[in-house]
Amino acid sequence: MTTGTSDRVRALLADVPTDLLVDGNWVPAASGRRIDVLNPATEEPIASIADGGEDDALRAVEVAARVQRSWGRTAPRERSEILRSAFDLVMARQEDLALLMTTEMGKPLAEARGEVAYAAEFLRWFSEEAVRIGGDATVSGDGGTRIICTREPVGPCVLVTPWNFPLAMGARKIGPAIAAGCTMVFKPSELTPLSSLALAEILREAGLPDGVLNVVTTSDPGSVVGPWLASGLARKLTFTGSTAVGIKLLGQAAQHVMRTSLELGGNAPFIVFDDADLDAAVEGAMVAKMRNMGEACTAANRILVQRGVADQLAARLAERMGGLVVGDGADDGVQVGPLVGPPALDKVERLVGDAVARGATVVTGGSRPDRPGWFFTPTVLADVRRDSALMSEEIFGPVAALVPFDTEEEALEIANDTDWGLVGYLYTRDVDRGFRVSEAMEVGMVGLNTGLVSNPAAPFGGVKASGLGREGGRVGIEEFLEIKYLAMPRRTLG
Ligand code: NAD
């Protein structure tokens, strides 16, 4: 990092709140404890945030429950305007927010800028949805009853987010919750909390009333989220993170029969048929694999390639991957940043070692570069065997694993041979095959001749162990609304 950048980062960090947000005030944790936040490119501490616990959690959820009544009755236009102002503020500070994100999470600045815009778009999208919450009125089959349906906010929500998209994952939940009229208690990841804390402060500036959004950071997630779910005060859980933690929280939410949305892990197949436009497939694979250094639930975990083009795809991907500039994401020209921490790095090393031990060939990369920070060199593995651990575990790193196949049926069989079902990608020039394979893939989202599906206007979410519910799109707000049905006898005149 250059001295100029360091000064700028220091100035930015000085402005970010590092305490808990409860009832509109930034307050230290009751215990007085703090947690260090590290820069994964340097392994150095960059900030110290409040380490909340059960007492802080209970205060926050009591506030959210108290404020729900008045907040739920605000005019939709008022909620819409707050979100729209927040969108404007986020975009006005895009550069600062991007640098903050890169410093706490590692992704290159260009990608961080993209995430800031993506996150902001959820605020704008849901500002537009706030004033379009619909209902309907109909008449029963026998004509004797009026059936009038309205939508009400589901109530106080528990928001829990992962570290890999530090701004967008929170915005994707906060946007619809505000639009629907729900209050919130929010626990961002302890690894990358600063972007979320900055967003909370922006929402305050945008006019969000005290107590609507409460934020508790902690080194012990169970001691905060557990009491929220057990309190009986929150009515909804919306979680993004690993399947293992999601399953645990689903069980806890069941105690109070809470509405639950889960955005969990993935194991995306990326299928390249031999009739594909290979230029487009290579471009798509680079995006689907390398966005966020491979640390994405949508990352192409298994690149299935028809045997006729397997060598060509491996060579072309290796050329592109091998040419990527690895380094501190804050530095100009860097295309691949560090992984989030030592456990992530250990996991990638283990999965590559296992695949090679089972017969895969390293076409490029395959190891850690010799430098400080949690870096892994962009890697292409060819001829990956189906019994390799990375076929059933999220790699979450810059490793493209190529698995050869012969027929369409075989590709589909491999693609669906997983507990997960978030997204699948396929490249083909045959329209009929494109639809056929898309329909047969057991996933919530399909990228047909594209390596990017994330879009605020689209319903994001998975099937099987990848989750419950959808975020974004026209349906995103529904997750935060309950339908109330009013029955009324109907007598006709004349
Ligand atoms: P994680 O499950 O370890 O953590 C997610 C959040 O849960 C964090 O805030 C963490 O502090 C909290 N948490 C952890 N243990 C908890 C507990 N016992 N009780 C309550 N909260 C707890 O996941 P992660 O490592 O932060 O994120 C990576 C995972 O997230 C990957 O599996 C990835 O696929 C998934 N993910 C999914 C989506 C999606 O939209 N489907 C998006 C991004 C990431």
Residue 280 in domain: yes
* Residue 244 sits in the same domain as residue 372: no
* Residue 231 sits in the same domain as residue 313: no
Say what the pLDDT of residue 493 is.
86
Say what the pLDDT of residue 426 is.
98
* Residue 88 sits in the same domain as residue 199: yes
Distance of CA 260 from the midpoint of ligand 1 (Å): 15
* Residue 25 sits in the same domain as residue 161: yes
Q: Is 263 a catalytic residue?
A: yes
| Positions of the chain with pLDDT under 50 | 1-4
Candidates 104, 182, 297, 471; catalytic one: 297
* Residue 237 sits in the same domain as residue 272: no
- Which range marks the domain in which residue 445 is found? 268-455
The response to whether residue 242 sits with its C-beta less than 6 Å from ligand 1 reads yes
* Residue 77 sits in the same domain as residue 149: yes
Q: SS3 string of the chain?
A: CCHHHHHHHHHHHHHCCCCEEECCEEECCCCCCEEEEEECCCCEEEEEEECCCHHHHHHHHHHHHHHHHHHHCCCHHHHHHHHHHHHHHHHHCHHHHHHHHHHHHCCCHHHHHHHHHHHHHHHHHHHHHHCCCCCEEEECCCCCEEEEEEEEECCCEEEECCCCCCCHHHHHHHHHHHHHCCCEEEECCCCCCHHHHHHHHHHHHCCCCCCCEEECCCCCHHHHHHHHHHCCCCCEEEEECCHHHHHHHHHHHHCCCCEEEEECCCCEEEEECCCCCHHHHHHHHHHHHHHHHHCCCCCEEEEEEEHHHHHHHHHHHHHHHHCCCECCCCCCCCCECCCCCHHHHHHHHHHHHHHHHCCCEEEECCCCCCCCCCCCCCEEEECCCCCCHHHCCCCCCCEEEEEEECCHHHHHHHHHCCCEECEEEEECCCHHHHHHHHHHCCCCEEEECCCCCCCCCCCECCEECCEECCECCCCHHHHHEEEEEEEEECCCCC
* Residue 223 sits in the same domain as residue 295: no
Say what the pLDDT of residue 5 is.
59
CATH number of the domain bearing residue 146:
3.40.605.10
Residue 491 in domain: no
* Residue 234 sits in the same domain as residue 300: no
Distance of CA 241 from the midpoint of ligand 1 (Å): 2
Looking from the CA of residue 161, the nearest atom of ligand 1 is 9
Residue 232 in domain: yes
Say what the pLDDT of residue 6 is.
81
Say what the pLDDT of residue 139 is.
97
Residue 382 in domain: yes
Say what the pLDDT of residue 74 is.
98
pLDDT digits (tens, 9 = 90+) for 481-492: 999 999 999 998
* Residue 52 sits in the same domain as residue 24: yes
* Residue 33 sits in the same domain as residue 89: yes
CATH number of the domain bearing residue 360:
3.40.309.10
Say what the pLDDT of residue 3 is.
45
Say what the pLDDT of residue 80 is.
98
Distance of CA 419 from the midpoint of ligand 1 (Å): 17
Looking from the CA of residue 467, the nearest atom of ligand 1 is 41
Residue 208 in domain: yes
Residue 488 in domain: no
Distance of CA 233 from the midpoint of ligand 1 (Å): 23
* Residue 315 sits in the same domain as residue 431: yes
Q: In total, how many domains does the chain have?
A: 2
Residue 460 in domain: no
Candidates 263, 394, 471, 479; catalytic one: 263
* Residue 60 sits in the same domain as residue 121: yes
The response to whether residue 453 sits with its C-beta less than 6 Å from ligand 1 reads no
The response to whether residue 161 sits with its C-beta less than 6 Å from ligand 1 reads yes
Residue 145 in domain: yes
